[in-house]
Amino acid sequence: MPIIKPVRGFSPQFGENCFIAENATIVGDVTCGADCSFWFNAVVRGDVNSIRIGNKVNIQDGAVIHCTYEKTKSIIGNNVSIGHNAIVHGCTIEDNVLVGMGAIIMDDAKVESNVLIAAGAVVLERAHLKSGFIYGGVPAKKIKALTKENFQHYIGRIADNYVLYASWFKEET
């Protein structure tokens, strides 16, 4: 059974058709929309501040979503993929974003819609990633424009695939 528990009087709230893996941990002031998935060993800790997650968001294996006490919230838009072992901490991620495997996004960073963050990238505190680009490196820098093909192949396809993958696990229960 996943760990889903209240903290400081706040209990996680889930939209329709969500998948939560057996060893995912979701605690405190966390609200998500429909068609979200929380994969194996994912941790979403709304203990020190709020976490808001839109529709069709997948938080992949080992990813951590957290924030800073009395300072930063984590806000994640719609159609967002948070890659394996990524860390999203006290930042805002708008719609249609792919956060690559092992990427880190720090406090008060803002990621606009339609952005791809490469695997292993580190988005520094207060960074502002503009819409329509691929960012990568340490610290993350603009690499190139996000083409329509990149967008469809990476951002749209992955978000859609994770809704499909979640349905496979629901069939087994």
Confidence band (pLDDT; 50, 70, 90) for 97? Answer: very high
7 close to 69: Cβ distance less than 8 angstroms: no
**What are the boundaries of each domain within the chain?**
3-172
- pLDDT per residue as tens digits for the range 37-91: 999 999 999 999 999 999 999 999 999 999 999 999 999 999 999 999 999 999 9
The CATH superfamily assigned to 3-172 is: Hexapeptide repeat proteins (2.160.10.10)
Higher pLDDT, 15 or 153: 15
CA 45/CA 154 separation, integer angstroms: 27
pLDDT above 80 for 20 = yes
Higher pLDDT, 170 or 31: 31
Burial (CB count <10 Å: 0-12, 13-18, 19+), residue 115: buried
Q: What type of residue sits at position 103?
A: A
* Cα dihedral across residues 173, 155, 141, 110: positive or negative: negative
Residue 2: the pLDDT is 95
